[in-house]
A = this chain, B = another copy of it.
């Protein structure tokens, strides 16, 4: 691969080159990259704003994360937060910090991932900043979106008796990460080893190339369901249930046998002699939507293959229970993403 030093282009040359590959698709984008700020016009619509920072060595490991996927994921994790407000993402800004080890071609790969995410989710890249770093890299993305209906869906508005729903399946991204780290350790001890990833394509993809649940927000709109509360699952189901319940001043009962877990996640957890339910409850990086609906909406979702109803909201604050397969209630506690390994 060609390796063009970034100094050959200079900061403005680099920005011009990267920006030229992005098209503006949104009518709310009046002015994109190229001035002191982007100019946006949302007419009467309310908007949402969210930001996420990914740091090399903390959130990603470039020895096994392809740069295209890094760019893609940095966008998707922000879009997931926008959807979790019952909003549609419209614009992003991206700040990229890279050391002088990065050549133009590497930066272009990161931006190719950003471009692919913008295309898939119909979002405009409208600004950003590129800086060198003394070492390591980072991506900070800010996403803006417009509300689907007049009101946002918050975390603190779940009601007693509401059904607790989750999209897709849980724990796969965490399983994928464990697999990648295991293979890396094996490679370190014997560099002639080739990683064995066959049969685990799904959990790898969930870790390396997560998607935000645009389709679920569209589905809910179609079914005329406005969730009573919603959050995206970035730190693990336990942590997000605690957010919804604490902020709503409620409790919850969820059932272990209702947790949606993919076959590959189960298979890999079993290989490690770990409980797949722990992956689902505490794994994190699922970017699925956790939401509550009133009981009247049950019939609209009961047979939907994209959504699992895993429990319900109870009145007693701070009484958060997972009912295990044998019927035993287990108190739900936040392990969180970062403490999971400790």
Residues B135 and A135 in contact, CB atoms below 8 Å apart:
yes
Let me know if A34 is at the binding interface, CB within 8 A: yes
The smallest beta-carbon distance between A317 and chain B, in angstroms, is 17
Q: Which of A35, A39, A97, A132 has the most CB of B within 10 A?
A: A35
Residues B97 and A35 in contact, CB atoms below 8 Å apart:
no
Residues B48 and A39 in contact, CB atoms below 8 Å apart:
yes
Residues A36 and B84 in contact, CB atoms below 8 Å apart:
yes
> Which listed segment binds B: A50-58, A169-177, A183-191, A297-305?
A50-58
A51 contact set on B, CB distance < 8 A: 93-95, 127-129, 140, 142
Let me know if A309 is at the binding interface, CB within 8 A: no
Q: Which of A59, A144, A145 has the most CB of B within 10 A?
A: A144
A155 contact set on B, CB distance < 8 A: 34-36
Let me know if A110 is at the binding interface, CB within 8 A: no
Contact of A31 among B55, B128, B140, B154 (CB under 8 A): B154
The smallest beta-carbon distance between A75 and chain B, in angstroms, is 14
Contact of A42 among B47, B48, B94, B143 (CB under 8 A): B47
A136 contact set on B, CB distance < 8 A: 133-136
Let me know if A131 is at the binding interface, CB within 8 A: yes
Which chain B residue has the least Cβ–Cβ distance from A338?
Answer: B11
Residues B53 and A131 in contact, CB atoms below 8 Å apart:
yes
A53 contact set on B, CB distance < 8 A: 95-97, 129-131, 140
Contact of A37 among B37, B54, B59, B145 (CB under 8 A): B145
Let me know if A152 is at the binding interface, CB within 8 A: yes
Q: How many copies of the polypeptide does the oligomer hold?
A: 2
- Contacts of A22-81 to chain B: CB distance below 8 A: 30-31, 34-44, 46-59, 81
Let me know if A217 is at the binding interface, CB within 8 A: no
The smallest beta-carbon distance between A84 and chain B, in angstroms, is 4
A338 contact set on B, CB distance < 8 A: 11
Give the docked Cα–Cα distance between A144 and B52 (Å).
Answer: 16
Residues A131 and B58 in contact, CB atoms below 8 Å apart:
yes
Contact of A93 among B49, B91, B96, B133 (CB under 8 A): B49
The smallest beta-carbon distance between A48 and chain B, in angstroms, is 4
A230 contact set on B, CB distance < 8 A: 36
Residues B140 and A49 in contact, CB atoms below 8 Å apart:
no
Residues A40 and B46 in contact, CB atoms below 8 Å apart:
yes
Contact of A50 among B38, B50, B82 (CB under 8 A): B38
Give the docked Cα–Cα distance between A338 and B130 (Å).
Answer: 13
A133 contact set on B, CB distance < 8 A: 55, 57-58, 136, 138
A122 contact set on B, CB distance < 8 A: none
Let me know if A247 is at the binding interface, CB within 8 A: yes
Residues B39 and A93 in contact, CB atoms below 8 Å apart:
no
Give the docked Cα–Cα distance between A94 and B57 (Å).
Answer: 21
Which residue numbers of A lie inside 8 Å of B, CB to CB? 10-11, 30-31, 34-44, 46-59, 81-82, 84-85, 87, 91, 93-97, 126-136, 138, 140, 142-145, 147, 152, 154-156, 230-232, 247, 336, 338
List 11 A–B pairs whose Cβ atoms lie within 8 Å, in order of A's numbering: A34-B155, A36-B232, A37-B48, A37-B81, A39-B48, A51-B93, A51-B94, A59-B131, A129-B140, A133-B138, A135-B135
